[in-house]
Amino acid sequence: MSKKVMLFSLQTFSTTGGIQKMTRTLAHSLYHVAKENNWDFKMLAAYDADHDLMPQYLPSENFRGFNSNRISFVLQSLKEAAKADVIILSHINLAFIGVIIKTINPKCKVWLIAHGIEVWRPLSKLKKVLLSKCDKVISVSNFTRQQVITMHNADAAKSFVLNNAIDPFMKLPHTFSKPQSLLTKYGLTGNEPLIFTLTRLAASEQYKGHEQVIKAIGKLKNKLPAIKYMLSGQYDTEEGIRIKELIAANNVQEQVILTGFVAEKDLSDHFLLADLFVLPSKKEGFGIVFIEALACGLPVICGNADGSIDAIRNGELGKAIDVNNITELEEAITESLKVPLTLQQRENLQQQCLLHFNEQDYMNKLQQLLNDGSIS
C-alpha cells in the first residue's frame, strides 16, 4: 500500500553537528526506503535554504528549504501533513507543528526523534503534549529512551531505540597507516602516542570532558614523555581562553595540539593519525563521533553515564569510564596505549563497527517501523 512519508527538520545541511549528521543519514535512508516501496517521500527544513541541500543525500525534488522563513515553513508543513500518512519530526522543538498535525489529521502517524539533552530536562507544556500524542518516539540510544520514559512519562510501548548509523558518505579508510601529510602538518614523527578528541568546544557546553583529558595528560606525561593530545573542534573566544588557561595550569603546552575546526573531508585522516579517541562526556545522546572513530579503526574511551554506552555496545567496542574520576581516566588511557594496535587489529575494529552501525540495517529497521512493526 502506498504511503506518504514526510521528514520535518530545523537545520540539516547548512551546519554540522551530531543531530545534523544523524538527520542527513535519516533523510537518505527514508528516501531509499520510500523508493524501494514506491512510497512518496519529502523533506522540509525550516532554516536551510534550497541550495544548502547536499544532493548525495536526496534529490532536490524531494527537499524544500525555507531559509528561516518560519511562517512559510509552518504553513507548508501543515498543508503537506493534511495528506500525509507518517510525519517524522527530527527535533522536539517542532512540537507546535506536531500537535497541530494531530489535531487536523488524527489519522496521520507522528513520530518524534529524541536525541539527548533536549529531552533530558524539564519540558514545556506544549512539548509534553506532543510526547503524549506521538505515535512513536524514536530515541537514538537506550539511555535517551529511558530518560524520556522516566522524566516525561512517555508510553514505553510507543518508545523505540534506533541507534545512529555511520554516514553513508563518510570516507572510510582501506589502509590504516598514519597520513604523512598530517604528520608533517602537526610536526609529528608518527611514533608519539597520540590521543585525539573531536567535539564542539563552547563555553555554554562544559560537559564534553576535554578538560579532564588535559588534566590526565598533565600526569601521564611523566611516564609517557612523548605523549601528545590533539584537541579538535571550533571554539568560541571564551572557551578558547579557558582551554589555554587549563593547558598552562597543567603545564602541557608541549603535549597539547589545538587544531581548531576540522573539515568533514579530513576527519578520517585525523582518526587515522591517532592511537586512541577519548571523549569523557557527561551528556552524549549517542555520540556519532564514537562510531566514526571506530569506523576508522580507532579505539574509544567514553563516559559511562549517558548514551555513549550504546555507541561502544556496552563495552564490546570500547572502554567506558567514570568521567569524574581522573585516576580512572588516566589508567584507561595508559592501558589502551600499553600495546599499540596493529594495522590488522584496526581493520578488525572497523569491521565490527560497520557490522553493527551500517546504513542497510538502519534502513531495514526504519522499514519495520514504517510497517508498524517493532525493532529490537
What does the alpha-carbon distance between residue 124 and residue 289 come to, in Å, rounded to a whole number?
Answer: 30
Confidence of residue 376 (pLDDT cuts 50, 70, 90): low
Cα end-to-end distance, the chain, whole Å: 25
Domain ranges across the chain? 4-165+358-370, 180-356
Mean pLDDT of the chain: 95
Q: What is the pLDDT of residues 190-246, one digit of tens each?
A: 999 999 999 988 766 767 899 999 999 999 999 999 999 999 998 888 888 999 999
pLDDT at 10: 97
Averaged over 119-142, what is the pLDDT?
A: 97
What does the alpha-carbon distance between residue 115 and residue 67 come to, in Å, rounded to a whole number?
Answer: 23
Q: What is the pLDDT of residues 285-328, one digit of tens each?
A: 999 999 999 999 999 999 999 999 999 999 999 999 999 999 99
pLDDT at 203: 67
What does the alpha-carbon distance between residue 376 and residue 228 come to, in Å, rounded to a whole number?
Answer: 41
Q: Give me 155's grid cell.
A: 508510553
Instruction: Let me know if domain 180-356 sits in CATH 3.40.50.2000.
Output: yes
Q: Angle at which helices 70-81 and 95-104 pack, to 10 degrees? A: 30
Q: CB within 8 A of 1, min separation 6: which ones? A: none
In this structure, how many other beta carbons lie within 10 angstroms of the beta carbon of residue 24? 21
Greatest Cα pair distance in the chain: 66
- Correct CATH for 4-165+358-370 of 3.30.70.20, 3.40.50.970, 1.10.287.610, 3.40.50.2000: 3.40.50.2000
Least confident span in 29-43, 117-131, 228-242, 261-275 = 228-242
Sign of CA dihedral 279, 145, 163, 15: negative
What does the alpha-carbon distance between residue 168 and residue 58 come to, in Å, rounded to a whole number?
Answer: 12
Q: Angle at which helices 18-37 and 359-370 pack, to 10 degrees? A: 60
Report the Cα 328 to chain-centroid distance in Å.
25
Q: What is the pLDDT of residues 74-106, one digit of tens each?
A: 999 999 999 999 999 999 999 999 999 999 999
What is the three-class DSSP state of 278? strand
Q: Do domains 4-165+358-370 and 180-356 have the same CATH topology?
A: yes
What does the alpha-carbon distance between residue 20 and residue 57 come to, in Å, rounded to a whole number?
Answer: 12
